[in-house]
Amino acid sequence: MPHQTYAACIEACNGCATACHHCAASCLKEPDVQMMARCIALDMDCAAACQFAAAAMARGSEHAKAICALCAGICETCGEECARHRHEHCQACAKACRDCAAACRAMAH
């Protein structure tokens, strides 16, 4: 099954998309939401990139490597921003982003 080659990276992408969607929704409820604006915006990008990459890998797409390369870069940017905030959902999202970036970088090579 072609998508089993991708199984670990698909799982990392799904985990990262979930963490990003949750982080965005949780940031919106924080008292310091004004400071979380870029975090929320990057969460939206990163969740969309991860869902796109997971779907492409599951289809065994001929574009999977290029999509994973883009996804890795978006995860890295999002993870750096999330890591700057002390909220638990931001720290959890930063870790999911780093894990997903590493998995996508490995896939892209």
Task: Summarize as ranges the residues that interact with its own copies (CB under 8 A).
Answer: 1-3, 10, 14, 17-22, 24-26, 28-29, 31, 33-34, 37, 40-42, 44-45, 47-49, 51-52, 54-56, 58-63, 66-67, 70, 73-74, 77, 88-89
What per-residue string of b and e applies to 31-57 under the rule 16 or more CB within 10 Å gives b?
Answer: eeeeebeebbebbeebbebbbbbbebb
Instruction: Name, in order, each residue with C-beta under 8 angstroms of 63's C-beta and a sequence gap of 6 or more.
Output: 56
Q: How far is the CB of 87 from its own copies (least distance, A)?
A: 11
Nearer to its own copies (CB atom), residue 17 or residue 100: 17
Q: How far is the CB of 17 from its own copies (least distance, A)?
A: 7
Q: Which amino acid is at 102?
A: A
Please report how close the Cβ of residue 102 comes to its own copies at its closest, in angstroms: 19
**77, two tokens:** 């940017």
Nearer to its own copies, 32 or 106 (CB): 32
Cβ atoms 99, 15 nearer than 8 A? yes
* Minimum distance of its own copies from residue 13's CB (angstroms): 9
